[in-house]
Structure 1
Amino acid sequence: MEAEDFSDLLSHLRRAYEDIIPRHGGTIVQIRGDGLLASFGYPETHEDDGRRATEAALDLHDFVRRIPLDLSPRTLPPLHLHTGVHSGLVLLADGDDLHGRLDLLGNTVNVAARLSDVAQSDEILVSEETLGAESHFYETTPRRSLSLQGIIQPIAVYGILGRAAVGTRFEARSMRGLTSFIGRQTELQALKGSLYDIIKGQPQYVAIVAPAGMGKTRLVEEFLRDSANSDCRILRGYCESYLSAEPLQPFLQILRLLLGLDYGMTAARAAKVLERTLAEINPDLLKYRFEFLRTLSLDPVNGQLESRNISLENTIAAICKLFDALVISKPVVLFIDDWQWADVASRQVLEAIRRGDNRTLFVLVASRELGDGNVAIGGANILTLAPFSADEAEEIIRQLLPGSNPFTVTRIRELSGGNPLFIEELCHSVAHDSPDHNRIGRIHGGEAWLEKLIESRVERLKPEQIDLVRTAAVIGNVIPTWLLERLTGCGESHPLIATLAAQDLIFPGEQSGTLRFKHGIARDVIYDSVGLRQRNALHKCIADTLREHGPAGAQEEAWELLAYHYGACGKVVEAAQYAEAAGDKAAGASALDRAQIQYGAALSALDPDSSQENYERWISIAQRLALACVFDPSRDQLEFLQRAVVLATAHHDQRALARAEYWVGYINYALGELAYATRHLETALAQATAVGDEPLAVQIRAVLGQACAAAAEYDKSLVLLDEAISIKRQFRKRGRLPVALAYSLACKATVLGDRGLFEQAHACLDEALAAVHDSGHEVEASILCWKSAVSLWQGRWEDARAAAIKGQHIAERVRSLYLYAMNLSLGGYASWMTQRSQKSLQAIVDATSWLENRNRGLFVSLNHGWLADSLVESERWQQARHHAARALLRSRRHDRLGEAMAYRAMARASAAGHNRKSPEVYLALAMKNALARGARHEIAVTQLCDAQIRLACGERAHVAELLDQAESLFEAMGMTWHIEATRDLRRRSR
């Protein structure tokens, strides 16, 4: 193009930018050449800013496609834009000639720019977190993940193809799929009662009032479904805050649908349809046909329906007459959603309708708030919606995240504050982004649109309310009232606190003298909106106030808070001091997850290279961290322990090196990495012996015995365990819980139990449990776990189930996912053996997935063996093969306890024609594993399985011999259930 033509084109394009962007509520930040940077959400925040930006992009793309490029003597191909839209937090600064009207800093701008670069010709790429569920307002490409240059995490995006035929936010969000209708039965019955009243000729006016996301529309949808079956006429409309919302929006929607008019109709066609419809309703309405035409904005010049000024007085009269006519034929339910955004004209129309003599009219509106003249619903019966109860919230979470563990469920419930929308979005985010459902901290990718919803609520507050709620957010989710009052002058009874409660932000906490945020998500979003320097200053002020003015006798309770606030403001020495103290306190209370977090924070804050004192302290904390991980191990903690090895080596500290190697070995054992565990433990034992640290050497030999027991190296294991048990019995200290002795006894019991020495095994378990009886310590859950396993091997199903249930309760209290999952699996298999319920089987599947998602493999071969066995019995052959293969893979990593069961399952599947190899091959492999372990119960069960298969295949040879051998072993081991199974098979074989 010639320069002058190109300049004209750019001017044309810039005028379009300047027209379209503000029309959707955006701000032009910078125009450079033909490129545009625009922001939505400043200076005024809207919950639908992501949608506004997307709408603006669609309009701009459409405009550019239609720019004529007829430049003689040739016509150029049409122009196309390419656009990226992303949402998130930015730092705003005043702009200049170089940076534009505003200077936007932060990763959000970089992501948007990269998306624009990646977008193809005429493509609009919008990140998933920008739109969330509102992506259903558009026709989109499938969700895909993009790795962008300079951006660490992949970004989930949609390509926007055009607008979808979706009218309301509820419709858009429901396209994701509605959960079952949960709770709200009292409110639903109240609505049904009002419906019954109008049928009897008593007009009703009800306003459902609750904050965003509380399920107002979902409740009404459930009610209207019943109303439609009651021979009522249902009329519905909704209000919008969007800039394009027209006056009388809800009533225009109702009229167009009721009267059969569309935007695209010509004047003549609209008039005919209108007259016919009015005549069908009531011929007396025909005299108002011109009022309806004007109300519906029929433009007589171009013959199209479009917006224009209307006479409100005539409109009110016409609509009132229409409703008068409608209620004569049948009861009418008029529902208007999002009434908080209703314009003045709509309020006047509704008031006029209500003043009419319409005895069978039910007016129902849903609104977010009352007061300050925002909503004209005086005289309505107010129906408020409370957050979901804990049980209701957990029911929804389990629907949306099937198989989620209880710790994840609790965390989502706490973050959501019982808000149904927040629950759904957190669940969808976890399902998309985190196979490890246990790690939910602050909200993350997928919910920026939800942050906008919260930000828009906060920005509507008065300045003094905003300052107060931001200070509260920096304090934390739970806010001591004395602390807030000292910082802000606002106590629990202050009017500003009451206004924040009315805004559904802060309300009295469960403990006396505290406030808390209604929703953990809201607290996180408000916290992020506080500037860095202001935030750091507040953290320091809070920490100093807690330390200097905290209530007498409550210093220990404040340790976690002090560690958090000093760490947040960069005071690392103080942060480490209080985090260490908080970790010790949590470990003493068996709050394993809290102890791990606090010890990790202390280690991160300390610099072990700065001084010998800091080094020794760092090593000491690392050892306590390891102790907190034993019953709930995590690979994340291994990094600290491996660094302890490096530090001890660098300081030539042989004692610390021996201890660090010991803990690395111990955690690897707890994670099921038995080969690594043995290697590190043997290294640690050699070093401890070299430096003469006999107490440590005893501990190492004990754990080495435990690791050998887990790897089914029983002869070596018993020697080491017996030595450790003898020494620990000899030096047992009065008043101190003998955790190490009890656990060593439990490990010895598993060896004895696997060898079929059940009487001796139960004696060890009884001694172990007596040593820690009702202590609530995590080791008790671990011992109960093994008591259940030994009972399963012996066929004592009810005893196994009872022990597992008790262990599960303790594991839940100390928040050990590993112990919880293993006890759940043990109890599940025991229940399966007595009830054959699919629910029991699903419990094992869920627990196994929790463990494997977190790379926790200790004894997981048992889980897969149980599943393979159960699934073969259920004739689910493919799934059975999968779990058998998983058991065999674990066996290669020295976890051999589930191997024989997996091979027996494959033998039965083969006998049913569902494996390539013969049953004899699998039975031989099962027997090989049982003999290698010296597992007499496995030998006998394999013989019984062999007899069952032979008999089912019609091969009676050797059946009697196999049954004799199996029964003899079962009797020697006291396996009553198996004895009866053997005798029953013998009777059937005759």
Structure 2
Amino acid sequence: MTESPAPALPNATGQRRLLTLLFVDLSGSTAMAEWMEAEHYAAMLAGLRDLYERIVPHHGGVIARIQGDGMLAVFGHPDVREDDGRRATEAALELHAAVRGLRPPGPLPADFRGLTLHSGIHAGIVLVNDGDQMRGRFELLGNAPNIAARLSEAARADEVLASEESLGLQSQFFETGPRFNLQLRGRATPLAAYRVVGRAQVGRRFDASVRRGLSPFVGRESEMLMLQAALARALGGQTLWVGLRAGAGVGKTRLSEEFLRHAEDHADRPCHIHRGYCESYLSAEPLQPFLQMLRSMEGMPEAPPELLAAQQSAPAGRAEALLALLLVLARRTPQLIFIDDLQWADDASLHLLHRLRAACTREGLPLLLLSASRPLPLTELPRAHDDGAEIIELPPLSEGESARAVQQLAPQVDPFIAAEVRRHAGGNPLFIEELCHAAADAGEQLVEGQSSAAWLAALVESRVGRLPPDQARLVRLAAVIGNVIPVWLLEALSGCGEQHPAVRALAGQDFIFPDQSPGHLRFKHGITRDIIYEATGLHERQALHRRISTELAARGGPEGQLHEQLAYHAAAANDWPAAGLHAEAAGDQALAASALDRAKRQFRAALAALEFLPDGEDQGRGRRRRWIAVAQRLGMACVFDASKDDLRVLKHAAVLAHADGDPALVARTEYWLSYVGYALGETRDSLRHARAAVETAQACGDHALLAQLPGTVGQLQAAAANYAEALPMLDLAIARQRTRASKSAVNRIGLSFSLCCRAYVLGDQGHFEQAHEVFAEALAPFDGSGHAVEASIQGWRAAVFLWQGRWAEASASAAVAHRVGAQVRSMFTCAMGQAAGAYGAWMAAADPSALQRVLDATAWLAPRGGGLYNSFNHGWLADILSTQGQVGAARHHVAMALRRGRQQDWIGGAMAYRAAARLAAKVGDTAQARRYLSLARGAGELRNSDHEAAVTALVEAELRLDAGWATALHFARAEFSRMGMTGFLQRTQALS
């Protein structure tokens, strides 16, 4: 059977390229044109043109056009290079220096201060068409050229402004001002940029990383042991060459430097360490890594004569002199030679490296050669640059190592974003670092493709550019299919199966590899897939998405998976009717499976697709009603994991429903507004929407909705601490839900949640035994199910255990809430589970990690607008911090807990007031401490909470503010005993 070639992608009218653009202009040229003679002005422009045409190509750029005294140059055409941003900046600095040295012809005004340029550098995807006399050598379409021009406009005389997008890590090769945000004309969001002052004293990428701040060094234990064993063999008299090999960003240099530091500090015998590096930049010279080693030996004590000979050698004999020097040194003492980025070594350096190894081996000299390099395509070299070395293939970080790296780089990022970072980075430390920065900037969520800064995209695209054409086409096709690639689909579109040479070559180049699921391939790094996809032309992508949709529909398969895939590809192909239908179906299936994040994503995709449908009179009303229906199902997916964005969608649905005029639509949108607001802790506003839902449902006779509303109103009244009104409504809802629980899963969920709310109200009132009985009934249908309602029930059960002082049981329930919340991607239950478990650990044994864990959980919820009973978190934090004596932080969380009272969330209020009393007592303000204790009693009475009254009495006894402390202690002890509050009862023993 003949292997089919990789597919040809459809042609587009222009080439979609990732380019770095340098826009330069002469400062003050309009004024000069007024006082200069035309001939002199023309001569000056000719001099500028000569500089442009000499300097830009020297740095690997291509001039797109010269217009008057301004120029636009591109870097990355025809081939993208990972250092295009650096090249453009180097060119700009050289141009500025050269122009400062020009003297315009003719007489000059007395106040003339010399010629200067002002420049802007930006990078991004550009559509490149052939140019003409009017448009220049190329016609460049897209935002990137405009932004480069805007940066040039914003730059002052003799100033270079470079966007962070274009430079990234390479900014460390230059002296720059601080990073700042620039609001450019025509751009909605600010652009991060640097003022480039000059070149830094940095020669290699690792030194640039050191200036930026090294990311955490994690893992690599086995590789470090192998390197240490090799060093021991070398110190024992052997000659070895060990080569570290891995793709860009995997950490070869970082591991090497950690090992070299170990060799300097911990080697049993002294060894002389030499460092050298290779680079692809234009300044690279023959024998570069060895000449760097030679220069570092300046002033070497007891230098051999061969050192002076090597330093004074002519270029023709330099290799021989260097070889003689290194052999003499190896005869004296063991040598460790490290060469970084060996893939860029010149032939002379490689030849000298092999000769040195051979000579030392013959003489039995103690030498360890260590090189770090990337794997190169077999088409580039007849044999590998590190051929003959003992190769250590450096794998990506493991899942656990990636998790440690994310935790250290972004300690408060929420677990869902952390998981997305790990999935997208594929264990590449550089990608992990950049995605963590992107996540910190993004806040609530990590958007696919948002982290593809141009400098990082250039790193990936330069690798794609070195692939043979058939492999490059194939990897772009795979990127359009998705991060996970069904083999049958790839073969149907390209004729290339899993064993096709082009597919296997892509695996060897670390692009794609076999997935754990048989019959599927996967991109090794999700960020690589995003970059390749974005760099593929729009028309090419859309044509492929249409073909993929056709193949998927013809193939069939698991319905849920098919809907998700078809929704994605239909939207990417601008087939909005199909995209909306499949996204709705996929959302419904995800909701039924309790996959809340997927359900929300699909319903939002359906709403986006609806915006592109026809808007005639009849179609418009149908589309509006459909939009409202999808938004209501989105509300169902938000019950256990709401955000402010979700609330905005429901508010828009309410506006559409009121415009439609159908009371039933209005009633249900008001209902979902109340429920999503309840999940966000906006109790006061949610009660208003619930009342509107009741009134409208009664007016239009919506009996099904009226049957649901008592449970919702009861939950809202409970959240507002109106327990006298909450319990009758909850009891009514429970009675109705029990009769319907066997009919549907939705009714069983509603019953369990109503029971859960009743249980925590009973617990707050100190009826702990009854509360636990009701919790048991609520949990029975879902215990161990992994359903979102299980996480919610266990979270509230943990809170009641905390009220009762049963710390170990609280931590156990909280752990289930956290684990299940993470599984169903419910941020609220996941975060509250972590916070409750941490507070239980603090109360049980003053766990030192508890504070940070509660802070982390609170930070996770902050971008979403907090959540239901958010005063719990702030109350717990205030309690821990006040006990530790951290006055400022404790006061902050006291204020945050009390602020929640504006939304009638008083669940953490008494705890916050007790913390404030403790702080006042520490500074001897007895009157203020008594006042706060009085407020704590009032906050407990608001909820009719016996356990709060008892704990407030305990704190009053502990602070010993007056002679009545013994009475307070007696009351607390009696109440703790009556309610079974074991952990608190133990605290009273210390006051006896």
TM-score by length of 1: 0.93
Give the whole-Å Cα distance in 2 for the aligned partners of 1:575 and 1:711.
41
Q: 2:312 aligns with which of 275, 290, 293?
A: 293
1:248 to 2:248 alignment: no
Give the residue type in structure 2 aligned to 1:42.
H
Cα deviations across residues 661-689 of structure 1 (Å, max 9, x unaligned)?
A: 10011101111111110111100011111
Q: Which residue of 2 aligns with 1:855?
A: 865
Shift of 1:644: 2.5
Q: Which residue of 1 aligns with 2:589?
A: 585
Q: 2:331 aligns with which of 318, 325, 328?
A: 328
Assess if the C-alpha contact under 8 Å between 2:340 and 2:372 holds in 1.
yes
1:53 to 2:59 alignment: no
Give the whole-Å Cα distance in 1 for the aligned partners of 2:475 and 2:165.
25
Assess if the C-alpha contact under 8 Å between 2:969 and 2:988 holds in 1.
yes
Give the residue type in structure 1 aligned to 2:99.
V
1:799 to 2:809 alignment: yes
Give the residue type in structure 1 aligned to 2:761.
V
Q: Which residue of 2 aligns with 1:506?
A: 512
SS at match of 2:243: strand
1:282 to 2:282 alignment: no
Q: Using the TM superposition, name which of 657-666 and 487-496 deviates more.
A: 657-666
Q: Using the TM superposition, name which of 910-919 and 785-794 deviates more.
A: 910-919
Q: Which residue of 1 aligns with 2:680?
A: 671
Give the whole-Å Cα distance in 1 for the aligned partners of 2:213 and 2:109.
52
Q: 1:80 aligns with which of 102, 113, 116?
A: 116
Q: Using the TM superposition, name which of 724-733 and 142-151 deviates more.
A: 724-733
Aligned ranges 1:927-938 → 2 under 5 Å? 927-938=937-948
Assess if the C-alpha contact under 8 Å between 2:216 and 2:409 holds in 1.
no
Assess if the C-alpha contact under 8 Å between 1:599 and 1:625 holds in 2.
yes
Give the whole-Å Cα distance in 2 for the aligned partners of 1:406 and 1:829.
19
Give the whole-Å Cα distance in 2 for the aligned partners of 1:356 and 1:654.
92
Give the whole-Å Cα distance in 2 for the aligned partners of 1:292 and 1:946.
81
Q: 1:810 aligns with which of 820, 824, 834?
A: 820
Q: Which residue of 2 aligns with 1:434?
A: 442
Give the whole-Å Cα distance in 1 for the aligned partners of 2:356 and 2:641.
64
Cα deviations across residues 433-474 of structure 1 (Å, max 9, x unaligned)?
A: 2233xx112233673211100000001111111111111000
Give the residue type in structure 1 aligned to 2:119.
T
Give the whole-Å Cα distance in 2 for the aligned partners of 1:350 and 1:194.
18
Cα deviations across residues 48-100 of structure 1 (Å, max 9, x unaligned)?
A: 00000000011011111111347447553111111111111111111111111
Give the whole-Å Cα distance in 2 for the aligned partners of 1:100 and 1:929.
74
Structure 2: give runs of 5+ residues left out of the alignment. Answer: 1-35
Q: Which residue of 2 aligns with 1:33?
A: 68
Give the whole-Å Cα distance in 1 for the aligned partners of 2:562 and 2:320.
66
Assess if the C-alpha contact under 8 Å between 2:779 and 2:793 holds in 1.
yes
CA RMSD of aligned residues (A): 1.9
Give the whole-Å Cα distance in 2 for the aligned partners of 1:151 and 1:917.
56
Shift of 1:911: 0.6
Assess if the C-alpha contact under 8 Å between 2:802 and 2:840 holds in 1.
yes
1:343 to 2:346 alignment: yes
Aligned ranges 1:380-391 → 2 under 5 Å? 380-391=389-400
Assess if the C-alpha contact under 8 Å between 1:906 and 1:915 holds in 2.
no
Q: Which residue of 2 aligns with 1:67?
A: 102
Q: 1:524 aligns with which of 523, 530, 533?
A: 530
SS at match of 2:297: helix
Shift of 1:152: 1.1
Q: Which residue of 2 aligns with 1:946?
A: 956
SS at match of 1:16: helix
Q: Using the TM superposition, name which of 20-29 and 726-735 deviates more.
A: 726-735
1:10 to 2:16 alignment: no
Assess if the C-alpha contact under 8 Å between 1:130 and 1:446 holds in 2.
no
1:706 to 2:715 alignment: yes
Cα deviations across residues 161-198 of structure 1 (Å, max 9, x unaligned)?
A: 11111110011012222234311121111111111112
Aligned ranges 1:388-399 → 2 under 5 Å? 388-399=397-408
User: What is the count of residue pairs matched by the alignment?
Assistant: 941
1:101 to 2:120 alignment: no
Structure 1: give runs of 5+ residues left out of the alignment. Answer: 261-276, 296-309
Q: Which residue of 1 aligns with 2:602?
A: 598
Assess if the C-alpha contact under 8 Å between 2:161 and 2:194 holds in 1.
yes
Q: Using the TM superposition, name which of 748-757 and 175-184 deviates more.
A: 175-184
Give the whole-Å Cα distance in 2 for the aligned partners of 1:549 and 1:693.
43
Assess if the C-alpha contact under 8 Å between 2:164 and 2:193 holds in 1.
yes
Q: Using the TM superposition, name which of 762-771 and 41-50 deviates more.
A: 762-771
Q: Using the TM superposition, name which of 383-392 and 767-776 deviates more.
A: 767-776
Closer, same or farther in 2 for the Cα pair 1:611/1:180, shift >3 Å?
Answer: closer
Q: Which residue of 2 aligns with 1:265?
A: none
Give the residue type in structure 1 aligned to 2:417.
T
Q: 1:315 aligns with which of 313, 318, 327?
A: 318
Assess if the C-alpha contact under 8 Å between 1:25 and 1:52 holds in 2.
yes
Q: Using the TM superposition, name which of 349-358 and 408-417 deviates more.
A: 349-358
Give the residue type in structure 2 aligned to 1:234.
I
Give the residue type in structure 2 aligned to 1:965.
F
Assess if the C-alpha contact under 8 Å between 1:207 and 1:365 holds in 2.
yes
Q: Using the TM superposition, name which of 157-166 and 343-352 deviates more.
A: 343-352
Q: Which residue of 1 aligns with 2:3?
A: none
Q: Using the TM superposition, name which of 572-581 and 510-519 deviates more.
A: 572-581
Q: 1:681 aligns with which of 685, 690, 709?
A: 690
Aligned ranges 1:198-217 → 2 under 5 Å? 198-217=234-253
Q: Which residue of 2 aligns with 1:644?
A: 653
Give the residue type in structure 1 aligned to 2:250.
M
Assess if the C-alpha contact under 8 Å between 1:234 and 1:334 holds in 2.
yes
Shift of 1:360: 1.3
Give the whole-Å Cα distance in 1 for the aligned partners of 2:117 and 2:480.
43
Q: 1:834 aligns with which of 839, 844, 847?
A: 844
Closer, same or farther in 2 for the Cα pair 1:207/1:931, shift >3 Å?
Answer: same
Shift of 1:656: 1.8
Q: 1:239 aligns with which of 250, 275, 278?
A: 278
Closer, same or farther in 2 for the Cα pair 1:777/1:32, shift >3 Å?
Answer: same
Give the residue type in structure 1 aligned to 2:37.
E
Q: Using the TM superposition, name which of 372-381 and 527-536 deviates more.
A: 372-381
Shift of 1:817: 0.8
Shift of 1:639: 3.3
Closer, same or farther in 2 for the Cα pair 1:915/1:574, shift >3 Å?
Answer: farther
Give the whole-Å Cα distance in 1 for the aligned partners of 2:342 and 2:793.
59
Assess if the C-alpha contact under 8 Å between 1:397 and 1:427 holds in 2.
yes
Identity percentage of aligned residues: 48
Assess if the C-alpha contact under 8 Å between 1:908 and 1:919 holds in 2.
yes
Q: Which residue of 1 aligns with 2:186?
A: 150
SS at match of 2:242: strand
Q: Using the TM superposition, name which of 644-653 and 241-250 deviates more.
A: 644-653
Cα deviations across residues 262-307 of structure 1 (Å, max 9, x unaligned)?
A: xxxxxxxxxxxxxxx7x94334x38x83x64244xxxxxxxxxxxx
Shift of 1:604: 1.9
SS at match of 1:479: strand
SS at match of 1:967: helix
Assess if the C-alpha contact under 8 Å between 2:313 and 2:321 holds in 1.
no
Give the residue type in structure 1 aligned to 2:773.
A
Give the whole-Å Cα distance in 1 for the aligned partners of 2:321 and 2:959.
84
Assess if the C-alpha contact under 8 Å between 1:608 and 1:615 holds in 2.
no
Assess if the C-alpha contact under 8 Å between 1:132 and 1:446 holds in 2.
no
Q: Which residue of 2 aligns with 1:719?
A: 728
Q: Which residue of 2 aligns with 1:268?
A: none
Give the whole-Å Cα distance in 1 for the aligned partners of 2:586 and 2:654.
25
Shift of 1:616: 4.5
Q: 1:463 aligns with which of 456, 469, 478?
A: 469
Give the whole-Å Cα distance in 1 for the aligned partners of 2:94 and 2:230.
45
Q: 2:770 aligns with which of 760, 763, 770?
A: 760
